[in-house]
Amino acid sequence: MHHLIEPAIQYWGTPVVLVSTLNEDGSSNLAPMSSAWWLGWSCMLGLDASSQTTDNLRRSGQCVLNLPSDNLAEAVNRLALTTGSRSVPVHKKLLGYRHEADKFAASGLTPQASEAVAPLRAQECPVQLEAVVEDIRPFARRDPRMGVPAVCVEVRIVKVHAHSDILMQGHAHRVDPDRWHPLLMSFREFYGRGERLQKSRLGRGPEEAYAPWKHTGLKGLAGKALVAWSRHRYGGSERTQGAETPS
């Protein structure tokens, strides 16, 4: 039987991301978060509007999304309740946050130079996504249950670094889902992914079907034409009107 509930947070389980950015003085900030989702080579991040990460993204427009595996939970835990902001916001003080200037040292992770952006990568993370900011806008302004001002940050991935241990044998550019074990967070607790349940119908076709930009020749031209038509047909900028606030 289902019950009508009102949880304090909608935290159903998403990958943990360590967002690396540069502070105004050029030092590194490394912040754990898990309100993130990907589509194509773009990613949407949900962040506290008052965070140092948000400030850094607004100013520099660059970041690295480091994805830890499930054996790096302790490193992520060392960053919990820390902020790069020298002036800790009141709502974070009430939650027990403290200022930490050197986030890489606090986590025990090793900084590593990036190739296309200035922020550093976390060497121990099996996946490191260099990215640039495409858009930052307020999030959930009409939601009376949103406890603090928030923003959604759209970033575009420009470089993907994946450790050889998680790559599919015989495929230089494919991640093996049986070898990649991301760290997940569900209702503020850490979890691993678990075992594969069964074969997915979605996985039957070639993965390259989702990347028409990889094809050449006639197949590449056809793919580009299809993308252009789809963007014209479905990529309009119309906005949906806000729904009524639930009582």
The identity of residue 232, as a single letter, is H
Read off the tokens for 203. Answer: 């996985």
H or E stretch at 15: strand 14-15
pLDDT digits (tens, 9 = 90+) for 84-120: 999 988 888 888 899 999 999 999 999 999 999 999 9
Task: Reply yes or no on whether the pLDDT at 74 is more than 90.
Answer: yes
pTM: 0.87
Strands 82-83 and 98-99: parallel
Question: Could you name the CATH architecture of 14-194?
Answer: Roll (2.30)
| pLDDT per residue as tens digits for the range 17-41 | 999 999 999 999 999 999 999 999 9
Distance between CA atoms of residues 185 and 68, nearest Å: 12
Per residue in 215-237, pLDDT tens?
788 877 877 787 777 777 766 65
In the chain, domain spans = 14-194, 204-233
Rounded CA separation 54/49 (Å) = 6
Average pLDDT, the chain: 88
Q: Among 61-65, 135-139, 192-196, which stretch is predicted with the lowest mean pLDDT? A: 192-196
